[in-house]
């Protein structure tokens, strides 16, 4: 007897199924798009998913002000246009933006530092949702806390909207070095690292004028969160990598950038402004996908670089930025 498989069951539900949907993105490129037409360009180029938003990170950075969840009509338009999965961004800690996105039927939510954070103390309790989440990190502690909260995918943050890959490389190297630290740790060192990471859930204590000692948080009890940290770190020690699919993001603008991050051990890449701020988005999109798929083959990466018709997006020096999005989140 044949068994009917509903794809929705893979997109929504248990932690295993949510991680399984994230696993389906492995080895691919996820592209930011702001119109149905751009979504079609991304799909035609071979993107595994698109990220629907009103403005690419470069425009969010240039415009300033408060950046929020995209309008539902824009997201619906992209959902109706493309046959590949559609993701959308919610502000850090903004449960209700996430609930709206879940109700719209997107396939994954990015709790993103590209948008203006809504909560200075807590991220969204992602275990309370049936839809998978992806979250950014700059180090192992951030990655572990997001996984404990329920993230099914992690991406290094980089510095979005800059066309400058240096922060993405920095975060990839830091996470790798700290994973190596965990794999070599003694029992006592392991406990100390776990306590340091768990203390990240106590940020509100630092801001109170009273001597707070948290027992419970919107994410669960402090004891349960610490137990979760210990469990995730034990997985990392055994696997010698994060236990979820790990992408890179922030500043990837060329095929060579994509190959560079893949060679740093990433499972795939997010490309935001790098596609549609280039002179020829169609060839840039195809070239980035090709380089991501063939990152170990220098001749193929060179071929991908040669496919680009026109210049990549203009880049920004990180030292001259007024806002460092990578610093958002905790």
pLDDT category at 16 given cuts 50, 70, 90 is low
The Cβ of residue 24 has, within 10 Å, a number of other Cβ atoms equal to 16
Q: Give just the sign of the alpha carbon dihedral 236, 26, 177, 167.
A: negative
Q: Which residues pair with 134 in a beta bridge?
A: 110, 153
Is 85 inside any structural domain? yes
Is 210 inside any structural domain? no
Question: pLDDT (tens digit, 9 = 90+) per residue, 100-135?
Answer: 999 999 999 999 998 999 999 999 999 999 999 999
CA distances from 11 to 16, 78, 86 (A): 10, 18, 11
At 277, which CATH number?
3.20.20.70
pLDDT category at 1 given cuts 50, 70, 90 is very low
Is 163 inside any structural domain? yes
How much is the average pLDDT of 252-271?
Answer: 96
Nearest to 267 by CA among 304, 292, 233, 237: 292
pLDDT tops 60 at residue 12: no
Question: pLDDT (tens digit, 9 = 90+) per residue, 188-224?
Answer: 999 999 999 999 999 999 888 888 888 999 999 999 9
CA distances from 166 to 24, 115, 309 (A): 27, 21, 24
| Predicted local distance difference test score (pLDDT) of residue 2 | 41
Q: How far apart are CA 42 and CA 281, in angstroms?
A: 9
**% pLDDT > 90, the chain:** 73
Give the domain extent around 304. 14-185+241-315
Is 198 inside any structural domain? no
Would residue 23 show up in a list of annotated catalytic residues for this protein?
Answer: no
Bigger pLDDT: 318 vs 289: 289
| Predicted local distance difference test score (pLDDT) of residue 13 | 53
**3-7, 48-52, 116-120, 168-172: range with lowest mean pLDDT:** 3-7
> What rounded mean pLDDT belongs to the chain?
90
Q: How far apart are CA 32 and CA 212, in angstroms?
A: 41
Is 118 inside any structural domain? yes
Provide the domain count of the chain.
1
Is 247 inside any structural domain? yes
Q: How far apart are CA 30 and CA 21, in angstroms?
A: 14
| Predicted local distance difference test score (pLDDT) of residue 159 | 87
Is 327 inside any structural domain? no
Give pTM, 2 decimals. 0.91
Nearest to 122 by CA among 101, 145, 93, 83: 93
Is 257 inside any structural domain? yes
Which position among 18, 89, 126, 277 bears the catalytic label? 89
Q: Which residues pair with 112 in a beta bridge?
A: 91
Residues 6+ apart with CB under 8 A from 208: none
């Amino acid at each position: 007897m044949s068994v009917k498989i509903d794809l929705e069951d893979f997109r929504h539900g248990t932690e295993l199924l949510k991680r399984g949907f994230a696993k389906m993105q492995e080895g691919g490129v996820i592209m930011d798009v702001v119109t149905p037409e751009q979504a079609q360009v991304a799909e035609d180029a071979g993107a595994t998913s698109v990220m629907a938003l009103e403005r690419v990170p470069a425009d969010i950075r240039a415009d300033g002000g408060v950046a929020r969840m995209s309008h539902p009509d824009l997201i619906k338009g992209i959902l109706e246009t493309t046959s590949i999965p559609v993701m959308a961004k919610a502000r850090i800690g903004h449960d209700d933006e996430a609930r709206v996105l879940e109700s719209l039927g997107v396939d994954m939510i990015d709790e993103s530092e590209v948008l203006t954070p809504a909560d200075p103390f807590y991220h969204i309790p992602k275990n309370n949702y049936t839809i998978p989440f992806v979250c950014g990190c700059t180090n192992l502690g951030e990655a572990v806390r997001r996984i404990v909260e329920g993230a099914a995918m992690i991406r290094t943050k980089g510095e979005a909207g800059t066309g400058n890959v240096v922060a993405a490389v920095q975060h990839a190297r830091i996470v790798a070095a700290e994973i190596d630290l965990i794999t070599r740790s003694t029992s006592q060192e392991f406990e100390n690292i776990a306590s340091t990471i768990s203390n990240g859930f106590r940020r509100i204590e630092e801001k109170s004028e009273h001597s707070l000692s948290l027992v419970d948080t919107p994410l669960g009890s402090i004891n349960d969160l610490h137990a979760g940290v210990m469990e995730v770190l034990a997985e990392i020690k055994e696997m010698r990598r994060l236990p979820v699919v790990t992408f890179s993001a922030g500043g990837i603008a060329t095929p060579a950038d994509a190959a560079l991050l893949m060679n740093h051990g990433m499972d795939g890449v997010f490309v935001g402004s790098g596609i549609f701020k280039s002179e020829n988005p169609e060839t840039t999109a195809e070239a980035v996908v090709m380089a991501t798929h063939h990152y170990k083959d220098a001749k193929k990466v060179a071929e991908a670089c040669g496919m680009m018709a026109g210049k990549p997006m203009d880049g920004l020096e990180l030292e001259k930025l007024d806002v460092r999005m990578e610093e958002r989140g905790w």
